[in-house]
Structure 1
Amino acid sequence: RFLDQKGAVIPPTNGPDVGELRAEEEARLALHGLPREHQIGYLRHHAGQTRETIAEVIVTPIVSTETHEAIAALAIGFKPVAPAGQRGEPGIRSGIWLEGRLHLPSLAPESESLLGAQVAGALATPGSVDRGILVRVDGVAHRLFYQRLNPDSLFPAAYEVGIYPLTALLASQRQLRWSILGAGALMLLGGLGASHVFSRRLSVPVQKLAVDSEQNRVRRARAEAALELSNEGLQRAVRFSADASHQLKTPVTVLRAGLEELLAREQLGPDVRDELAELVHQSYRLTSVIDDLLLLSRADAGRLQINLAPVDLARLIEAGVDDLGTIPDALGIAIETDFPTPLRIDGDNRYSAIIVQNLLENARKYNQPRGRIAITARERDTQVFLTIGNTGRPIPESDHEHIFERFHRGSVGENVPGHGLGLNLARELARLHGGDLRLVRSEGNWTEFEARFRTAPPAAADPRSA
């Protein structure tokens, strides 16, 4: 999950892909403000099981390269913590104390509740963590130890709680006592030796628990390092894209102005004038690519502002079709439309228009001579579905999973001008609108894409439509 600047959880648009959480579980991930350092927490998680589990959560801040301030945070949950009593170690059983409750599945619910009350008393007693406390579980004496798992964390305090049964130790002590009384000095020496052996044997589970704790610490450190490297890589990529686009925009503008000034001269021959006109056209195409890169870099950095309001999708489609009609085209493409008017969606007028324009341009570029483009739009429930299909060579099945990747140019587009940004940008903008963009099918002589938008809420409807 991502946290916004106030520490609140940003609901994901692809919940099944990133892990389902209940509303109350997702609320526990929220913090009072963004942290400056990594935070470790623990979350009670049901995930459909009969009894709840405890998942470990690591939150790392995402820092702006411009202001050096935290602008968001990324929370990653790991597999549920498996207490020692569930991993097969003899004797020792361990669990997690979190938010006033003990999670120790190897105990019966009644025993777990009673032990939780004793843990609460131990936590309120200074110094008990150093020597442990004596408790009774199901009528059997145990030694209880605990330690803080997330010191100095903004999340609620979590403690690892371990209980060690003393039955075998007490039985050994009673046996040794009778042996010493019955056998005298010789048996006393033998008893001391046996006591030493037993002590070594009984310490093995404790040593194994210490080794497991160290291994868990190492794995957690590796996960934090990998997370930090991933965050740094993302920041570098976003910074490079934004910087490169800014640096290119000014010289391209200057270049186009110089070309237009040359084109205005009257003494130019027809061939030279045509070449200059083509160069001016190419400069506009390059500016369009730079604008797309700037838009994508802002989206990657989470700085793209979407101002949602009622937008007439039918009007955007009509404007896009009119724009296609002004482009000189020797293909003779027929355009078929089928959609109601008005057709209102909840979106940003500028970015919704970019989605429609990119899909229409894609359908035109990859069409065939005397082909056709079919545009349909329908409202179903609380969503609006826009479908744009075109004739032409189908997209190879091996390219289906890559067509939305940035700068991807499949085999169908080898001789078609473009830079591989249109579909990627359209899908990113659709998802920012709470919708999506997908390839419906591409077979035979037909390719079809579907964009999904949210219907404009009735309360926010445009008064001019009354």
Structure 2
Amino acid sequence: MIATAEPSKQAITSFRAKLSVTMMLVVSGMTALGLYLAQRTVGSTAERDLQQNFQAQLSSLHGLEELRHAALAERCRVLSEKPRIHAALEDNALDLLYPSAEDELRDLMEGEEPSSEQAASALHARFYRFLDATGAVLPPPNLKDVGVINTAVEAQLALAQLPEKQQSGYLSHRDGGSDRVDEIIAFPIFSTETGEIISALVVGFKPLEIVPKSDDAGIKSGIWVNGRLHLASLSQSELGALGNEITRALTRSDSVQNNFTVRVNGAPHLLFYKRLNPGSLFPPAYEICLYPLASAVAQLHRLRWQIGGAGGLLLLGGFVASHFVAVRFSKPVEKLALDSEQNRAQRRLAEAALISTSEKLKRSTRYSADASHQLKTPVTVLRAGIESLLSREDFDAAVYEELSALLHQTHRLTGVIEDLLLLSRMDSGHLQIKSEAVDLSELIGEWLDDLATLLDQVDMRIEKKLPAKIYVVGERRYTSLIVQNLLENAGKYNRTGGRIKIEAQEKNGEVVVTVGNTGEPIAPSEQEHIFERFHRGSEKSASGHGLGLSLARQLARLHGGDLRLVHSGDDWTEFEIRFPAAQPAADGGS
């Protein structure tokens, strides 16, 4: 019996030893795998956070550039529509061309060039030139008034053909022994008689850039054009090496934007490039931005060391735990505790990520609202000053005409600001719809009466098919804004002698309104973008800021409905909007 017990004890001891070794091997393998995955997760998370931070700063830079381009394009559009400019071009009175434009662009040319910090909020042109029908530069009589440029720059302004729409480009040249880049906008000028392109106005100005506060923080931005990199904060040797890497990257890839890691003075940087003028007649130019990675890489290394140390301790603890698991057969209990701890850690990570995302969205919305609020005060002051000048009686008639045009532009700018504020409220979820029964027939009739007064002047007729009373669920002022945007678009993008047709009917608990108009159809490539903010699909025929349809669709969806493009082609464009149907209140009020 003693002999039997001894082998049995040895077998149990052998089994426990084998089980302990097996558990240690399992724990070692799982710990190594966990350490590897944890390091990968930390690295990818840090890189993703860095990319998001980089894209946020880059979006801010692009937003400032778009605002400045829009303001300059508006100035060029107003100038190109002046009768004096057309008379000089169409009557071949070219000696009067530049003097006629001088008064309109004087404020752009006068004063000192703003610094990099002030360039985002100030409009200042370095030069401007007109192109003739062949794309050649028309020489100005006085270089001092239109900006002095050398013959090399003037040669780069010439185009093989005139642009059919606004074009942007960048020119590189030597100025006073140093490299300089000019950003240019070319705006076509159309004949008032034939509608053909007869000239183009080219305006050059200083490119926008963001100057970092210190050498190891912030974006460094520059321009790559004609095979050369222009980035003021780098030395010539750094520019040469970095320019070669960018050239190789552009040669290998056909993408208009990409990013890759480079080393500048031995420090890692994230380089982002984006084509600035796709489809332009000018040479391709790319915006180059450098984002320092030194602090992020250092932080990543520290985290990896911490994870490595924690992994080593976990491995040691696993060896000890595996021994007790083999002896006491408590593996299910320990596994359950480990799973519970992992679930809690994942939940904390998910909650932290959700809070971080929510804060980023709030900051973005708050930035849009603050920017719109800050714009309201200077526009109000400007309008008051213009109205004060209009009240005087000692100006010539031409001065009053120009002041009236400026006053009109301030009203347009106020409309843009109000639309941006409304969009910001919707984005942040602060816009609450006070639902009530709105008489849509009455509301449409009011806007048609206002629209008919303007359309009589251009020989345009209105066809309507509306019930005497039809009610929808919504808030009257926002429902009115939706109808206003659709009807104004139908008139704005119509043609002389055309027509507007509006119908409304109730279907399956919804009120369906269709608004159609004659005129040039929306191009198929543009149709999927017409509801995007700041998108304008017909820049030749009408002015606007590209917010109307986007605002109308968002308001319609907040009302529980929708807005869509039904058809555009064969001289006819039609939109459909749906509202939830409502019954009139018992007291007859809305």
Distance 1:186 1:397 in 2: 87
Is 2:6 aligned against 1:185?
yes
What is residue 18 of structure 2 aligned with on the other side? 197
Distance 1:327 1:246 in 2: 32
Q: CA distance change for structure 1 residues 214 and 447 in 2, over 3 Å: closer, same or farther?
A: farther
Give the letter for the 1:237 counterpart.
Answer: S
Q: Once the two structures are superposed, what CA deviation does each residue of 1:306-347 show, in whole Å capped at 9, x if it has no partner?
A: 222221111111111122223378653322111111111222
What is residue 438 of structure 1 aligned with on the other side? 564
Give the letter for the 2:529 counterpart.
Answer: H
Distance 1:402 1:303 in 2: 26
What is residue 381 of structure 1 aligned with on the other side? 508
Moved more, 447-456 or 227-236: 227-236
Aligned CA-pair RMSD? 3.0
1:347 to 455, 464, 474: 474
- SS of the aligned residue for 1:340 comes to coil
Is 2:370 aligned against 1:243?
yes
What is residue 450 of structure 2 aligned with on the other side? 323
What is residue 450 of structure 1 aligned with on the other side? 576
What is residue 295 of structure 1 aligned with on the other side? 422
Distance 2:582 2:521 in 1: 34
Distance 1:317 1:347 in 2: 14
What is residue 368 of structure 1 aligned with on the other side? 495
Distance 1:425 1:253 in 2: 23
Q: Once the two structures are superposed, what CA deviation does each residue of 1:274-309 show, in whole Å capped at 9, x if it has no partner?
A: 111111111111111111122222222332232222
TM-score (norm 2): 0.44
Quote how far apart the aligned CAs of 1:239 are: 1.0
Distance 1:334 1:295 in 2: 32
Q: CA distance change for structure 1 residues 226 and 368 in 2, over 3 Å: closer, same or farther?
A: farther
Matched-pair identity in %: 55
- SS of the aligned residue for 2:16 comes to helix
Distance 1:214 1:413 in 2: 60
Quote how far apart the aligned CAs of 1:183 are: 3.2
Is 2:245 aligned against 1:424?
no
Q: CA distance change for structure 1 residues 200 and 434 in 2, over 3 Å: closer, same or farther?
A: farther
Q: Once the two structures are superposed, what CA deviation does each residue of 1:54-74 show, in whole Å capped at 9, x if it has no partner?
A: xxxxxxxxxxxxxxxxxxxxx
Give the letter for the 1:431 counterpart.
Answer: R
Distance 1:291 1:377 in 2: 29
Give the letter for the 1:395 counterpart.
Answer: I
Runs of 5+ unmatched residues, structure 2: 27-330
Does the CA contact (< 8 Å) of 1:310 and 1:462 recur in 2?
Answer: no
Matches within 5 A, 1:372-411: 372-410=499-537
Q: CA distance change for structure 1 residues 218 and 416 in 2, over 3 Å: closer, same or farther?
A: farther
Does the CA contact (< 8 Å) of 1:333 and 1:370 recur in 2?
Answer: yes
Distance 2:513 2:414 in 1: 28
What is residue 332 of structure 1 aligned with on the other side? 459
1:277 to 385, 401, 404: 404
Q: Once the two structures are superposed, what CA deviation does each residue of 1:418-443 show, in whole Å capped at 9, x if it has no partner?
A: 11111121122212222221222223
Q: CA distance change for structure 1 residues 332 and 209 in 2, over 3 Å: closer, same or farther?
A: farther
- SS of the aligned residue for 1:292 comes to helix
Distance 2:479 2:16 in 1: 79
Distance 1:451 1:189 in 2: 85
Does the CA contact (< 8 Å) of 1:368 and 1:391 recur in 2?
Answer: yes
What is residue 77 of structure 1 aligned with on the other side? none
Quote how far apart the aligned CAs of 1:202 are: 7.6
Distance 1:407 1:231 in 2: 25
Give the letter for the 1:191 counterpart.
Answer: I
Quote how far apart the aligned CAs of 1:461 are: 4.3
What is residue 588 of structure 2 aligned with on the other side? 463
Give the letter for the 2:356 counterpart.
Answer: L
Q: CA distance change for structure 1 residues 268 and 329 in 2, over 3 Å: closer, same or farther?
A: farther
Distance 2:560 2:435 in 1: 10
Quote how far apart the aligned CAs of 1:215 are: 6.3
Does the CA contact (< 8 Å) of 1:366 and 1:413 recur in 2?
Answer: no
Give the letter for the 1:391 counterpart.
Answer: T
Is 2:131 aligned against 1:310?
no
Matches within 5 A, 1:4-153: none
Q: CA distance change for structure 1 residues 181 and 390 in 2, over 3 Å: closer, same or farther?
A: farther
Does the CA contact (< 8 Å) of 1:365 and 1:416 recur in 2?
Answer: yes
Quote how far apart the aligned CAs of 1:464 are: 6.5
Distance 1:396 1:214 in 2: 57
Does the CA contact (< 8 Å) of 1:310 and 1:461 recur in 2?
Answer: no
Quote how far apart the aligned CAs of 1:356 are: 0.3
Q: CA distance change for structure 1 residues 309 and 184 in 2, over 3 Å: closer, same or farther?
A: closer
- SS of the aligned residue for 2:409 comes to helix
Q: CA distance change for structure 1 residues 464 and 192 in 2, over 3 Å: closer, same or farther?
A: closer
Distance 2:525 2:341 in 1: 45
- SS of the aligned residue for 2:354 comes to helix
What is residue 394 of structure 2 aligned with on the other side? 267
Distance 1:218 1:333 in 2: 67
Per residue, is there more helix in 1 or in 2? 2
Q: CA distance change for structure 1 residues 272 and 392 in 2, over 3 Å: closer, same or farther?
A: same
Give the letter for the 2:487 counterpart.
Answer: L
Give the letter for the 1:450 counterpart.
Answer: E
Runs of 5+ unmatched residues, structure 1: 1-179
Does the CA contact (< 8 Å) of 1:395 and 1:442 recur in 2?
Answer: yes
- SS of the aligned residue for 2:536 comes to coil
Q: CA distance change for structure 1 residues 367 and 184 in 2, over 3 Å: closer, same or farther?
A: same
Q: CA distance change for structure 1 residues 366 and 431 in 2, over 3 Å: closer, same or farther?
A: same
Distance 2:473 2:559 in 1: 8
- SS of the aligned residue for 1:272 comes to helix
Distance 1:418 1:294 in 2: 17
Does the CA contact (< 8 Å) of 2:452 and 2:462 recur in 1?
Answer: no
